[in-house]
């Protein structure tokens, strides 16, 4: 018995062609009346017929470009938000030190009023007052550090560090303790 569609040899009683999948009826082995005889080459072997195969179209791969752009924009927005948050929480950056800072200086148990003026041009001035007398140190320079500020005389030979402690700048060295907060 042969498949009427592709001409493959089949076992008797086969319902479907294993090669092309054509459904075979009860009379699958018999030639169809009025149809041309497929055994006309005189050798009893069917003529091979071309298989009509149309491949399914290959689906184009979806582009992830939009996803990557969206993730990139989101990452940049998060970084900007974090910078703005931490800048506002910790005083707005290194130039947030500019202004007047007031507090006390303690030396050998004696408290002295202290005012520290930090200017945008990086110049500074410190005034200490006690019992109606005051002493001013002008011609100072200042610079911001990762932990606070440093102040030095105009010649910048010896920098003294004020550490940031919350809203205050604090120095504690050689028995002198100064703590000032921004006004």
Query: Where do the domains of the chain lie?
Result: 1-49, 94-182
- Residue 118 C-alpha from the chain's centroid: 37
pTM over 0.75, yes/no: no
**How many CB atoms neighbour CB 162 within 10 A?**
24
CB 139 within 8 A of CB 145: no
Q: Which two tokens stand for residue 77?
A: 């927005």
**Inter-CA distances, 129 with 46, 55, 106, 181, 183, Å:** 120, 94, 12, 16, 17
Per-residue pLDDT of the chain (183 residues; tens, 9 = 90+): 788 888 888 888 888 888 888 888 754 444 544 445 444 455 556 666 666 666 677 777 777 777 778 788 888 888 887 776 665 555 445 567 899 999 988 877 788 888 999 999 999 998 888 777 888 888 899 988 888 888 888 777 778 888 888 888 888 777 778 888 888
Domain 94-182 in CATH 2.40.128.640: yes
């Amino acid at each position: 018995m042969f498949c009427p569609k592709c001409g493959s040899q089949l076992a008797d009683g086969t319902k479907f062609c294993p090669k092309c999948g054509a459904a075979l009826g009860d009379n699958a082995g018999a030639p169809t009346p009025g149809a041309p005889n497929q055994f006309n080459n005189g050798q009893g072997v069917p003529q091979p017929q071309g298989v009509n195969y149309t491949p399914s179209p290959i689906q184009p791969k979806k582009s992830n470009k939009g996803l990557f752009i969206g993730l990139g924009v989101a990452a940049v927005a998060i970084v900007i938000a974090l910078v703005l948050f931490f800048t506002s929480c910790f005083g707005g950056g290194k130039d947030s030190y500019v202004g007047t800072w007031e507090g006390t200086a303690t030396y050998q148990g004696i408290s002295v009023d202290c005012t520290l003026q930090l200017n945008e041009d990086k110049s500074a001035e410190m005034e200490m007052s006690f019992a109606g007398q005051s002493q001013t140190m002008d011609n100072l320079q200042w610079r911001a550090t990762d932990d606070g500020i440093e102040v030095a005389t105009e010649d910048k030979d010896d920098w003294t560090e004020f550490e940031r402690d919350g809203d205050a700048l604090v120095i504690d060295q050689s028995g002198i303790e100064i703590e000032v907060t921004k006004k």
